Structure 1
Amino acid sequence: MMSGRSTIATRLFWTVVLGGGAAIRYGAPALAATGAACLAILLHRLDRPRRFRALVRRISRRHAATLALRRRQERFLDAYGNTIEDGWLREREYFVERTVLPLVEERGFSDYAEPRFEEMVEIVERVACAHELPDEMETPEDGIAYERYCAELLGEAGWDARPTGASGDQGCDVIAEKAGLRLIVQCKRYGRPVGNAAVQEVAAATLHWSGDMAAVVSNAGFTPAARKLAGTTGVLLLHHDDLSTLAPARRAGRRVLAAGR
């Protein structure tokens, strides 16, 4: 693909060639028009970095709610009071690579992909920080209360949801049914990312409770191991903010769950 520098050189070259030919025939007016055209091309080139940043912001703002939620999920305080955000840093780069870069290249900024990668990441960070989410402190800290809270959020989405209680749940904290589909949920009110043990437990609980689908719901994020296991077992990894819009859907001939408004 032709670089931005070679493109502007080509445009200027042909503008001068064609304008010069016109100036020979039409004189000063054509020469002035040629100069104005060259100036417009140069100004457009100088404005290119601003247009690039504006494009990245527009793309990021389309996903602002999801980015803000993922930022909340993937950052936590460790036992020493340090903010651990490795998961969020990986998420930012993943978003830029998979979502931003293809659109940036499509709009003619492919030459910016590598030298301005960190600038794109910084824009994503600012967009995620600027989007307001519900106050996390509103969620119950007690485990049993958090299960009831999750059941209430599912109820807002039209699910017939009920907590199973503290004993005999076999890894299932909430059972929810809608449109003939049974959802088995394990709830984790954590101060750190949830590991793959929760995924294993809810997958087993789905068999025990004859569920159609399974999900682990948490206020925190999930470890890479949990995400990997969830991908192979079909367990959904959700933030509780997802529950009030969760709806059953069909895809490829089988039932799945999808967030819908």
Structure 2
Amino acid sequence: MPGKPNPVARLFWTAAIGCPFGLWYGPPAFAATGLALTLVLMRHLGRPRRFRARVRRIARAHAETLALRRRQESFSDAYGNRIEDGWLRERAYFLDRTVLPQIGPRFADLAESERNRMLAIVEAEAAAVALPEEDEAPGDGIDYERYCAERLARAGWRAHRTPPSGDQGADIVAVRDGLRLIVQCKRLAKPVGNAAVQEAAAALRYWAGDRAAVVSNAGFTPAARRLAAATGVLLLHHDALDDIDLAGAHRS
């Protein structure tokens, strides 16, 4: 495998070169050869530790973002169970798209065997960040719409809630810097499905918006994520309303 060190070859050539010197120069040369063999072996055995240290440095550089995503992608369902499916997907995404490309081919042989340890490192770095207390989102759907509109307004949007009937899938129409954002709000005890994404995409056309978003407290199903990727609908936790980047990616 390219980039994978061969400790057997290193040990062989160290011994092959060192032993003749030992025969010629005696005990000091044998001692030097033994020391060289020990260093080669120790360096190889220390590779997993160095690999994990590098993963930890990368995760620590993104710790605050990871902590926020951890909070956004975890919720309690109606039965009091802690649901972290979205966060588990986020951890894997971070490893595959951020950590492994930075690690490079030198440690490629450890990527699979060390994956669980890498996930644990990401979890630990995210959990170590003390985030500010988040606002308690209302449990009622109408109140949740009002809450989202208020957060958009605090972020500089002119946010208006649509009428309760005939909204065609839009709960909020928000305008800032000439951009028109169509928002559907979902306060649920389970991840939002792709029906909400379909409705938001339809509302975008009906309300002549520039972008559409589905905002929720509870994350999104894989089907919703795939449809959002195809339609350009933003998938947001309500915490993200404080700083929406309409030019950015819509992955959530």
Instruction: Tell me the CA shift for residue 142 of structure 1.
Output: 3.8
CA separation of 1:61/1:226 partners in 2, compared to 1, >3 Å: closer, same or farther?
Answer: same
**In the alignment, structure 1 residue 48 sits paired with structure 2 residue 33:** no
Q: Is the contact between residue 59 and residue 100 of structure 1 (CA under 8 Å) also seen in structure 2?
A: yes
Distance 2:149 2:249 in 1: 17
Report the counterpart of residue 240 of structure 2 in structure 1: 242
**Which one is further off, 133-142 or 191-200?**
133-142
Distance 2:77 2:136 in 1: 21
Query: Deviations along 1:115-172, whole A, 9 cap, x unmatched?
Result: 2222222223323333333434533334344334333433454433333354553322
**In the alignment, structure 1 residue 141 sits paired with structure 2 residue 139:** yes
Q: TM-score, length-normalised on structure 1?
A: 0.77
The count of residues paired between Structure 1 and Structure 2 equals 250
Report the counterpart of residue 223 of structure 2 in structure 1: 225
Which of 202, 221, 235 is residue 204 of structure 1 equivalent to?
A: 202
CA separation of 1:115/1:156 partners in 2, compared to 1, >3 Å: closer, same or farther?
Answer: same
Instruction: Tell me the CA shift for residue 231 of structure 1.
Output: 1.9
Write the letter of the residue equivalent to 1:40. Answer: L
CA separation of 1:28/1:140 partners in 2, compared to 1, >3 Å: closer, same or farther?
Answer: same
SS of equivalent to 1:108: helix
Distance 1:43 1:86 in 2: 39
**Which one is further off, 198-207 or 21-30?**
21-30
Report the counterpart of residue 78 of structure 1 in structure 2: 77
Q: Is the contact between residue 63 and residue 129 of structure 2 (CA under 8 Å) also seen in structure 1?
A: yes
Write the letter of the residue equivalent to 1:183. Answer: L
Report the counterpart of residue 112 of structure 1 in structure 2: 110
Structure 1: runs of 5+ lacking an equivalent: 250-256
SS of equivalent to 2:182: strand
Q: TM-score, length-normalised on structure 2?
A: 0.79
Structure 2: runs of 5+ lacking an equivalent: none
Distance 1:99 1:190 in 2: 30
SS of equivalent to 1:150: helix
Query: Deviations along 1:11-33, whole A, 9 cap, x unmatched?
Result: 33333444556667877766655
Q: Is the contact between residue 211 and residue 246 of structure 2 (CA under 8 Å) also seen in structure 1?
A: no
SS of equivalent to 1:238: strand
SS of equivalent to 2:160: strand
SS of equivalent to 2:174: strand
Write the letter of the residue equivalent to 1:108. Answer: R
Distance 1:161 1:258 in 2: 22
Instruction: Tell me the CA shift for residue 218 of structure 1.
Output: 1.3
Instruction: Tell me the CA shift for residue 51 of structure 1.
Output: 1.1
Write the letter of the residue equivalent to 2:167. Answer: D
Structure with a larger share of its residues in strand: 1
Write the letter of the residue equivalent to 2:186. Answer: K
